[in-house]
Amino acid sequence: MNFVVEGFGWIFDPANIGGPQGWIARLLEQLSYTFGAVAIGAVIAIPLGYLVGHTGRGRDIAVSLSGGLRALPSLGVLILIGLGLGIGFKAPLITFVILAIPPILAGAYSGFEAVDRKTIDAARAVGMTEWQVITQVEVPLGLPLLIGGIRSGVLQVVATATLAGYISGGALGVFIFEGTSTRNYAETLGASILVTALALALEGIFALVQRLVVPRGVVAKEATDLRPRSSRPQPVMGIPIHEGK
């Protein structure tokens, strides 16, 4: 319990807050890695996912690619890229882009696959072009699953971005590795608390966004489907019974 108190004490110590080496600057670096990697990963993964989801071609390759990239050890990839590019911002960013691509790719193509084929056929029947089907039907209806993929990618990267400190790439991991090496457990725990709080805050924000992007028609349909039926007994129609027969 004392370690927890010391961790919060380290966070609120004015000497550790401001300045280029303070945790605010490191937290901004953590966010830069996170959103930079997710943005680059989205530019790569979303068009590929939409192409796979719309055409149905290459799905096995996309699934294999997503699974293969997820299986890569983050620290090992970071060290290999760091050996090639040296110490700095580039090696961690490339590593985190590799981590961000699989969930975004999966969210993109699964969002298109989740759209009812009858809806797409109806859109084509009223004269929509393929581009209109994509932009006006598949993209809006598949957006919640895409946001879910981005949400998963953000959480994975923001937690893994602490590894950037291992090769002097900044972020909150600097305090974790520094505190571990010097046995300053208050610093290690304080940085860990900040990473956890940041991940929880981003989780809450993206969970809200994912709910807000659900099309109104889908929400209304779900509300109608879930409306409880009346418990009032229904009249029973039958053949009248006559005495003596």
At residue 220, the pLDDT reads 44
Q: Copy the structure tokens of residue 96.
A: 């985190």
CATH number of the domain to which 164 belongs: 1.10.3720.10
Percentage of the chain lying above the pLDDT 90 cut: 33
Residue 217 — very low, low, confident or very high, per pLDDT cuts 50/70/90? low
At residue 1, the pLDDT reads 58
Residue 148 in any domain: the answer is yes
Select the more confidently predicted residue: 230 or 70.
Answer: 70
Backbone φ and ψ of 66, nearest 5°:
-60, -45
Select the more confidently predicted residue: 92 or 206.
Answer: 206
The helix, strand and coil proportions of the chain, stated in percent and rounded to the nearest 5, come to 80, 0, 20
The 10 Å CB-count burial string (b at 16+, else e) for 161-183 is bbbbbbbebbbbbbbbbebeeee
Q: What is the mean pLDDT of residues 172-195?
A: 89
Residue 105 — very low, low, confident or very high, per pLDDT cuts 50/70/90? very high
Which range of residues forms the domain containing residue 117?
2-12+22-215
Backbone φ and ψ of 182, nearest 5°:
-100, 0
The pLDDT tens digits of the residues spanning 110-167 come to 998 888 889 888 988 988 888 998 888 999 999 999 999 999 999 999 988 888 877 7
pLDDT of 224 higher than 90: no
In whole angstroms, give the CA distance from residue 60 to residue 203. Answer: 29
Residue 53 in any domain: the answer is yes
58, 92, 131, 139 from 213: Cα distances, Å? 27, 31, 21, 11
Token pair 């961790």 in the structure block, residue: 7
DSSP category for residue 102: H
Residue 239 in any domain: the answer is no
Q: What is the mean pLDDT of residues 170-193?
A: 88
Q: What is the mean pLDDT of residues 53-73?
A: 80
Residue 54 — very low, low, confident or very high, per pLDDT cuts 50/70/90? confident
Give the total number of structural domains in the chain.
1
Measured over the CA atoms of residue 167, residue 168, residue 169 and residue 172, the dihedral's sign is positive
Lowest mean per-residue pLDDT among 13-17, 23-27, 100-104, 220-224:
220-224
Residue 76 — very low, low, confident or very high, per pLDDT cuts 50/70/90? confident
Q: Are 140 and 147 in contact (CB under 8 A)?
A: no
pLDDT of 89 higher than 90: no
Q: Copy the structure tokens of residue 70.
A: 């997820």
Residue 231 in any domain: the answer is no
Residue 200 in any domain: the answer is yes
Token pair 């520094």 in the structure block, residue: 178
Q: Copy the structure tokens of residue 97.
A: 């882009």
Lowest mean per-residue pLDDT among 86-90, 110-114, 182-186, 218-222:
218-222
Residue 102 in any domain: the answer is yes
The pLDDT tens digits of the residues spanning 2-16 come to 778 888 888 998 888
CA dihedral of residues 143, 147, 149, 150 (deg, nearest 10): 140
Residue 103 in any domain: the answer is yes
Residue 157 in any domain: the answer is yes
DSSP category for residue 214: S
pLDDT of 245 higher than 70: no
